Amino acid sequence: MVASAGHVDHGKSTVVRALTGHEPDRLAEERRRGLTIDLGFGWTQLDRSGWTAFVDVPGHVDFIRNMIAGVAVVDAALLVVDAREGWRTQTHEHLFILRTVGIAHVVAAVTKADTADDGRLAATMEQTRENLRTVGLDQAPVIACDAISGAGVHQLRGALDAMLAGLAPPRDRGRARLWVDRSFSIRGTGTVVTGGVTDGSLGVGDRVSIVGDAGPVDARIRAIEALGEARDGARPGGRAAINLARVDHRTIRRGDALVRPGEWHLTDTIDVELRVAPTLTHGVTRRGAFTAHIGTSSMAVPVRLIGGTEIAPGERGLARLHLPRRLPLVPGDRYVLVESGRSETIGGGEVLDVAPVVPVMRARPDRSIDRVVTERGWVAVDELELLTGVRCPPVIGRWVVHEDELRRQRGSLLDAVAASGSNGIPMDSLEERQLAVIEQLGTEQEVQLRGGVAVAPAQRDALDDHPFLRHLLDSPFQPPTAADEGVDQPTLIELRRRGLITSLDGLHFATSAIDQAADVFARLIGQHPEGVTIAQFRDALGTTRKWAMPILAHLDAGGISRRVDEVRVAGPRMRPASLKSV
């Protein structure tokens, strides 16, 4: 998408009309006054970059809010300068806003060229190049044209086409967001919202939430239109009109966002960088009435400076903004800050943290993932992606953990296990994070995991030498019964709790015997991949059907084996250890 920018009455709408053939001024008042008040739209097909949407923004100072909404989600800009008037107040302000919201690709059109003499035209062209250079846009093309006569319009199209063809593909995080710039109803169709799509694709049938003043409101996408045609989906980097079911258009307004539920962190507090405009005649402090423009939203915000009390013109600082309502944001999103009392654009920049946890006096925000993890200690992988926009591999379980916090947790649990003696620590008494650490310690043989109990490796279980267990181990696949051995019920329960024995259909086996049986089954599968019969399994164990059947049923239930007609084949959870022994 391309947004127009420039001082009022410099011909932005006329240029967009000449490029696209569409009338961008939608309102009758705009056409009557010859003054763009709200956002207008048009599109055209360029030779190399294909279909391209244009957003025409108002240039008058009274409508700066609408201008910022128009450039919030575009990839590039068309900066329009009147050849006779040259650069004016809003030209400078619009260029600053473009750079503040991260637009680095600009083509400048010096318009009404037929009405200026050669000297004046050349001076405006040079002035435009110089002002672009001051903001790092040295390579931006500057094209003289006249939208009324058509002179230079072909060259302008070519410059726009070359710029857009060289852009990287729009960012796709796989989680779409549409910033609403219009909401209306069409008879027979229902609610329609329009806006630019970022960060992912939307599809017909998607269940979505409209995030606004009333909080998320559920809806469903009934139909999608882009560039005047019905579509199955809307991709990032383009504009779309979304027909919604189950929601009234009167509950949606410009500044709301459309997202899929659960895909975005909704925040009302953000830490940001604040780059102050070099043209200001005063520094920025916390004093003043401020308006933040984020996406297509505009809202009054208090500003708390971080690490200082004032940011001078042209300087960069840090700030915390408290939003009056929650928005779906991620680090890297851009914003513009306006001081309402003076009606001047004072700065803006990047969002750094969408969920600050450190008090403002100690906060040092940046976009580092390490900082987010350090400040929280533990962060679930899914939550970390919402907070940073980056998918990271887990360190343990489902979490990314700071190394100091993991070291502390490991030490604490090792101390607790050592202090628990032969009783150990029941794993069902641990909360989820502790359980993940205990399982890691078990894998590393720092602790022993016995039937749901964690004990120190050197700690010998008092029941390890129980006569009944020894007899079970001596005859693993034809074990004696508890009645024959005179074992009472409380002892059986404790042996089972500690994972020393496994009871199947009233028969008791040493748990290690079940592991051996799984290895035997794996070896048989290696010899008979078409399937293993009960008789083959029985004979391999050296036992009878009485003992083999409950063991085989247990392997079935655990997914190690799977019954197919009269044989067993490898199950989906056949253990790696068993496969290694084949």
Using an 8 Å Cβ cutoff, are 531 and 564 in contact? yes
DSSP conformational letter for 500? S
pLDDT of residue 555: 93
CA pair distance 303, 144, nearest whole angstrom: 42
What are the beta bridge partners of residue 479?
none
Name the CATH superfamily, with its identifier, for domain 266-367: Translation factors (2.40.30.10)
pLDDT of residue 580: 36
Three-state DSSP class for 394? coil
Domains 2-165 and 177-259 are alike in CATH topology: no
pLDDT in tens, the chain (582 residues): 888 888 877 878 889 889 988 776 554 444 444 444 457 778 889 989 888 888 877 644 444 556 566 566 788 899 999 999 999 888 888 888 888 888 889 999 999 999 999 999 999 999 999 999 998 999 999 999 999 999 999 999 999 999 999 888 888 989 999 999 889 999 888 999 999 899 999 999 999 999 998 789 999 999 999 888 899 999 998 889 999 998 999 999 989 999 999 999 999 999 999 999 988 889 999 988 999 999 889 899 999 999 999 999 999 999 999 999 999 999 999 999 999 877 788 989 999 999 999 999 999 999 999 999 999 999 999 999 999 999 999 999 999 999 999 999 999 999 999 898 877 888 888 999 999 999 899 888 898 877 678 888 866 656 666 888 888 888 899 999 888 888 888 888 878 777 778 899 889 998 889 889 999 999 999 899 899 999 999 999 999 999 999 999 999 998 889 999 989 999 887 754 443 332
pLDDT of residue 469: 81
CA pair distance 315, 283, nearest whole angstrom: 9
Residue (of 216, 170, 217, 225) closest to 193 by Cα position: 225
Three-state DSSP class for 358? coil
Domain ranges of the chain: 2-165, 177-259, 266-367, 403-455, 463-580
CATH number of 177-259: 2.40.30.10
pLDDT of residue 60: 42
Cβ neighbours of residue 216 closer than 8 Å, sequence gap 6 or more: 209, 210, 261, 266
CA pair distance 399, 384, nearest whole angstrom: 9
Name the CATH superfamily, with its identifier, for domain 2-165: P-loop containing nucleotide triphosphate hydrolases (3.40.50.300)
Angle between helix axes 534-541 and 545-557 (nearest 10 degrees) is 110
**Can you give the pTM of this predicted structure?**
0.76
Class of domain 463-580: mainly alpha
Residue 360 is encoded by which pair of tokens?
Answer: 């403002």
Using an 8 Å Cβ cutoff, are 311 and 274 in contact? yes
pLDDT of residue 12: 83
